[in-house]
């Protein structure tokens, strides 16, 4: 009779396991554990069948519930039912790997190359994401970025941010720092010139500058066909038409190379990266200086050229904040 008792326990175990796993189907590790339980139940059924003596007609009515042979036949039937339930459950039950990829079945891009592809995958919340730029510089490696999913339809990959954060980052840095990137992508940062090269050479990009002045008045500027060349070309800057409300603050630096305090391509006699306290595409130190000294809202004085500014909007007064972001054109 112990076989009958075991069989009924297995019959109870199978549906409970299936129900429980459906209730918490999002937990990958639990899925694996539940599948292991199903395998254990199937193994127990197999052992029960091996231990069960063959049914021999004992001259009693085998259809009777009280006959030993009838009971054995019912046990075998229940074991078969339990076995079939387990097989059906496993066939319709995703594995851990499948569970990880449940969302990917509907994804347009399994390895998004930028924040626009992340948006196309259904992610609509601004924040940190992983992308896989397709470029020889990136070599297929993932890159953690901050995606702006709120501005102008979303899908913007942020490449620079300055603002009134508690831990301000010094942007007066050397070539290597600007090449690799620095800062905290949740606060102030420069994503790195190699990464900007990789991102802007995947397709036709628009660059967008979002900024606020000391009075918290918001303005923006966009430029079409934005891209830079590689390091051997000094990360030469290219862009086309301006649109926006902030005024064209970078027209003069078109086709300029990047300059830092230890590597100056800028053509004027001044040492602009030192004067303007940051790395940028300078020419005669330029009008606008997004990577200058961050003293939000400070009025220009004797050190007017040091501050992060957008000249058509703030003159040389310091901006309260500025972000630079790019979005590919599909």
**If DSSP states are collapsed to H, E and C, what string results for 191-259?**
CCHHHHHHHHCCCCEEEEEEEECCCCCEEEEEECCCEECCHHHCCCEECCCEEECCCCCCHHHCCCCCE
- For residue 156, give every residue at least 6 positions away whose Cβ sits within 8 Å of its Cβ, in sequence order, or none: 115, 116, 147, 148, 149, 208, 325, 326, 327
146 or 165, higher pLDDT: 146
Residue 138 has pLDDT above 50, yes or no: yes
Q: Which residues are CB-neighbours of 164 under 8 A, at least 6 positions away?
A: 296, 320, 321
First to last CA, the chain: 70
* DSSP helix/strand/coil, 169: coil
| pLDDT score of 140 | 81
Which pLDDT score is estimated for 16?
41
Contact present, 281 and 257 (Cβ < 8 Å): yes
Tell which wins on pLDDT, 256 or 65.
256
Residue 14 confidence (pLDDT) above 90: no
Name the DSSP class of 320. Answer: S
What is the distance between the alpha carbons of residues 11 and 86, in angstroms, rounded to a whole number? 10
Tokens of 97: 């790997």
* The Cα angle at residue 139 between residues 137 and 141, in degrees rounded to 5: 115
Pairing of strands 127-131, 143-148: antiparallel
Residue matched to tokens 């042979």: 69
Mean pLDDT score, 255-274: 86
Tell me which DSSP letter residue 126 carries: -
| Banded pLDDT at 296 (limits 50, 70, 90) | confident
**What would the mean pLDDT of 259-263 be, rounded to a whole number?**
94
The kind and range of the H/E element at 328 are strand 321-328
Count the Cβ atoms, other than its own, within 10 Å of residue 181: 18
Asked whether 31 and 90 are in contact (CB, 8 A), the reply is: no
Q: How many residues does the chain have?
A: 330
Tokens of 272: 């602009």
- DSSP state for residue 93 in the 8-state scheme: S
The residues, any chain, with a CB within 8 Å of residue 65's CB and separated by 6 or more, are 71, 74
What's the pLDDT score for residue 108?
Answer: 86
The phi and psi torsions of 232 (rounded to 5 degrees) equal: -60, -25
Contacts of 54 (CB under 8 A, 6+ apart): none
Determine the average pLDDT of the residues in 255-261: 95
């Amino acid at each position: 009779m112990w076989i009958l008792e075991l069989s009924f326990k297995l019959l109870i175990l199978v549906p409970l396991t299936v129900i429980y796993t459906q209730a918490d189907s999002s937990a990958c590790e639990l899925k694996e554990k539940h599948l292991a339980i199903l395998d254990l139940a199937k193994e127990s059924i197999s052992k029960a069948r091996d231990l069960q003596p063959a049914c021999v007609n004992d001259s009693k009515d085998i259809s009777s519930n009280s006959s030993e042979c009838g009971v054995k036949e019912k046990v075998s039937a229940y074991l078969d039912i339990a076995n079939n339930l387990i097989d059906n459950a496993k066939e319709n039950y995703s594995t851990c790997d499948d569970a990880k990829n449940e969302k990917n079945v509907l994804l347009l891009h399994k390895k998004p190359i930028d924040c626009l592809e992340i948006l196309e995958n259904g992610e609509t919340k601004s924040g940190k994401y992983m992308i896989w730029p397709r470029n020889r510089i990136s070599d297929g490696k993932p890159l953690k970025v901050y995606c702006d999913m709120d501005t102008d339809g979303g899908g913007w990959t942020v490449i620079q941010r300055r603002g009134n954060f508690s831990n301000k980052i010094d942007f007066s840095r050397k070539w290597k720092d600007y090449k690799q990137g620095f800062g905290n992508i949740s606060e102030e940062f420069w994503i790195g010139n190699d990464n900007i090269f990789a991102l802007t050479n995947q397709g036709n990009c628009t660059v967008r500058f979002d900024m606020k002045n000391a009075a918290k008045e918001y303005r923006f500027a966009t430029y079409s066909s934005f891209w830079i060349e590689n390091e051997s070309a000094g990360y030469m800057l290219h862009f086309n038409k301006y649109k926006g409300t902030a005024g064209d603050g970078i027209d003069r630096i078109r086709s300029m190379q990047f300059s830092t305090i230890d590597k100056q391509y800028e053509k004027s006699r001044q040492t602009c990266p030192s004067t303007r306290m940051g790395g940028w595409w300078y020419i005669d130190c330029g009008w606008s200086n997004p990577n200058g000294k961050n003293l939000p809202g400070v009025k220009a004085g004797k050190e007017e050229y040091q501050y992060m500014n957008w000249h058509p909007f703030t003159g040389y007064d310091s901006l309260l904040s500025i972000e630079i972001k790019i979005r590919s054109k599909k």
